[in-house]
Amino acid sequence: MRTKLLAAGGALILSLGALLSPAAAHHSFSAEFDGSKPARLIGRITKVEWTNPHSYFYVDVKNSRGEIVNWACEGGGPGALSRRGWKKGDVKIGDQLVVDGYLAKDGSHTIDARRVTLPDGRSIYGGTPGDGGPGDGDVKNK
């Protein structure tokens, strides 16, 4: 009887968790980004956040109407990027970045940086390891 009560209590608490998980949940690729909306952005870096748990690169991109729009590109943390050869000083404000990724589901100007072409020509897998997005788990994306 007691264990049943505890189990019920547990279920109640988990529902609380469900209620509080917002529509834009991170930390599972499919929760934040749309795998059916691939995109390529080419733009100049305006800001670099070389941070845990995610890195962010902000680029000014010219849209189809010729207007400049600032996009946020989400990448893995410093550890993950560094293991793929992308060190903190490799990109600076003003550098051009080519970002291939998938658009955020919420329509904001956010893209997950699955593949980034750096100014020096190197092409780096930028995704957060284990996020379940396309290419995640591929040997060549380690």
Partner 1 sequence: MTALLQVCAWIHDLPWATAIRESEITFPALETVHVLSLGLMVGTIAIVDLRLLGVVLRHEPVARIAAPLLPATWIGFGLMLSTGGLLFAAEATDMYANPAFRLKLLLLGLAGLNMLVFHFTSYSRRVRWGSEVSPPVGARIAAAASLTLWTGVIIMGRAIAYFHHHG
Partner 2 sequence: MTFPGLSVFRWLAHSPLNAAMNKSVWAFAVIEMGHLVALAVLGGASLVLSLRVIGIWLKDVEATAVARSLRPVLAISLGVLILSGLLLLSSAPLKYYFNVAFRAKMLLLLLALASNLAMLLLIDRPAAVASKAALPALAALSLLLWLGVGVCGRLIGLI
User: What residue ranges bind partner 1 (CB under 8 A)?
Assistant: 2-3, 6, 9-10, 13-14, 16-17, 20-22, 24-27, 49-54, 56, 58, 72, 74, 77-79, 82, 88
Q: Rounded CA gap, 23 and 106, in Å?
A: 9
| 45 CB-near residues (< 8 Å, 6+ apart) | 57, 58, 59, 91, 92, 93, 94, 95, 96, 97
Largest Cα–Cα distance in the chain? 67
- Which of residues 52 and 96 has its CB atom nearest to partner 1 in the complex? 52
In the DSSP assignment, the letter for residue 16 is H
The verdict on 13 binding partner 2 (CB under 8 A) reads yes
Chain contacts with partner 2 (rule: CB under 8 A) = 3, 7, 10, 13-14, 17-18, 21, 23, 25, 27-28, 30-31, 77, 79-80, 83, 128-132, 136-139
